Amino acid sequence: MSSDFHDDTALQAPPIAFDNSYARLPPQFFAEQAPTPVSAPKLIKFNEVLARELGLDVDALRLDAAAIFSGNELLPGSQPLAMAYAGHQFGNFVPQLGDGRAILLGEVKDRNGRRRDIQLKGPGPTPFSRRGDGRAALGPVMREYIVSEAMYALGIPTTRALAAVTTGQPVYREEVLPGAVFTRVAASHIRVGTFQFFAARGDTESLKVLADHVIARHYPEIRDRANPYLSLLEAVADRQASLIARWLHVGFIHGVMNTDNMTVSGETIDFGPCAFMDAYDPATVFSSIDRNGRYAYANQPGIGQWNLARLGETLIPLIDPSADTAIDLANTIIKAYGERFQAYWLAGMRAKIGLASEEDGDLDLIQSLLAIMQQQSADFTLVFRRLASLAADEDVSDFAASFQEAQSVTPWLERWRERLVRDPQTPAARAVAMRRVNPAFIPRNHRIEQAIQAAVDDSDFSLFEALLEVLARPYEDQPAFAPYAEPPLPTERVLQTFCGT
């Protein structure tokens, strides 16, 4: 017998190849914290497509997915930690928040060489839990899975859903609910509130370490500029202007745009009481905790600017030795954000109504349509999808049916057709282009609630699976799922959504 025997399992690469840059930062950036085991984890969903994109060993993960994605089994190379951050919550500053029910397992480099975080939500308490249980209920986990994957399919920068499991243990909120753990993937989990954490403590040294880390990770192209920290503020402002414009293009309302829920990477994060608008109304609010409408649909661009001003405040000592000079430089960027947002929003709205060229009257044309939609309680998504069909068809009946009074939109249609004469696209090309930016399917609030109730009440995940299937192709006509494109009946309307804590 040969004496050269070796154990192949000992040499086998782990299913997730962690490389944890955040864990290499100074200890004041986080608290080391392992997940708390649960009694009976059961896999709900494993996003194998995303796992392959991340370069993970899907076959190996599939064998033990419930244990791994519940936090019961820690893989080699994982360095679990809870991140420290502060934040303005509904305008009120809280100097210490941190990951109270989230644990960063570690980071991977995906197949394109991009660094991505893998984080558990709901794996138990951390030093930042503030007497909370650190757990998540099944409903919020399902909501985040559905909406984050829908946002990705819509082409909007977002965190992603890698997995969801039930824990076999209850969580206690206003009622007893089944517990669950969500596995989130992000470009990073660094927030405006992360900068605020160190600024509130006057820790300029840590601020610089954080800013340098963010530049290296997210904005390496600005590293060698004359003033990289001012360039960082400008880069974050640009990404936020683009992101929030895209939210408005699909009727999305985040619900809790606190500074601890705004990433510096420019991804949508924290899908708590978020929702998509049905009938168009710029004052729409769904979040049960947003009692004064601070984060209403139309307020989101302004809140984005307010949050950026808070980021700018933290960067003052890095931008220039003179505070007055630094403030002037930062204010120039904060003020320019409004123009950036307007440019992104208007470009997207031009595309939604089928314009490839630009004219001075386009803004008024768009605003006129939105005003009619508001007056007529027209469904935001259906109006633009049906307008896309109308671009290559003279039959206005379906489009007009979107309005309570069909004739109310006739004068606008005449203006629109007159404008299209001066646009270079052919009708067929225009219709195709409009369908690429006007979804047929969004995560309708009532559909999400139906899927959650079926799962919570009967452990039935069939509606959850169906919703994920249709939302994976939001810009395609899917006759088999036609009812999912329809707005809710009056008895199905969801008027409030709730935070998952």
Both tokens of 95, joined, read 């100097």
Please, are residues 216 and 154 in contact by the beta-carbon 8 Å criterion?
A: no
CA dist 167 to 37, 72, 106, 124, 136, Å?
9, 10, 21, 11, 10
- Which residue from 226, 223, 281 is spatially nearest to 251, judged by alpha carbons? 281
Distance, CA of 339 to CA of 268 (rounded, Å): 21
Please, are residues 455 and 141 in contact by the beta-carbon 8 Å criterion?
A: no
Both tokens of 111, joined, read 């197949």
Query: Do you know the residue count of the chain?
Result: 501
**Residues facing 93 on adjacent strands:** 88
160-172/176-186 β-pairing: antiparallel
Q: Where are the beta strands (DSSP E) in 9-159?
A: 30-32, 42-46, 81-83, 87-89, 92-94, 102-109, 115-121, 136-137
Both tokens of 331, joined, read 């204010």
What type of residue is 212? Answer: D
- Which residue from 344, 365, 369 is spatially nearest to 355, judged by alpha carbons? 365
Radius of gyration of the chain (CA): 24
Question: Which of 99, 133, 260, 290 does the annotation list as catalytic?
Answer: 260
- Which residue from 3, 80, 70 is spatially nearest to 41, judged by alpha carbons? 70
Q: Is 260 a catalytic residue?
A: yes
Dihedral of CA atoms 209, 212, 213, 215 in degrees, nearest 10, equals 160
CA dist 341 to 53, 243, 264, 300, Å?
31, 9, 16, 11
291 DSSP assignment? T
User: Can you give the three-state secondary structure of 294-349, one letter per residue?
Assistant: CCCHHHHHHHHHHHHHHHHHHHHHHHCCCHHHHHHHHHHHHHHHHHHHHHHHHHHH
DSSP 419-449: HHTTS-S-HHHHHHHHHTTS-S----HHHHH
Both tokens of 224, joined, read 């060698």
Distance, CA of 357 to CA of 349 (rounded, Å): 12
Our separate counts of H helices and E strands in the chain read 17, 12
Q: Which residues are catalytic?
A: 260
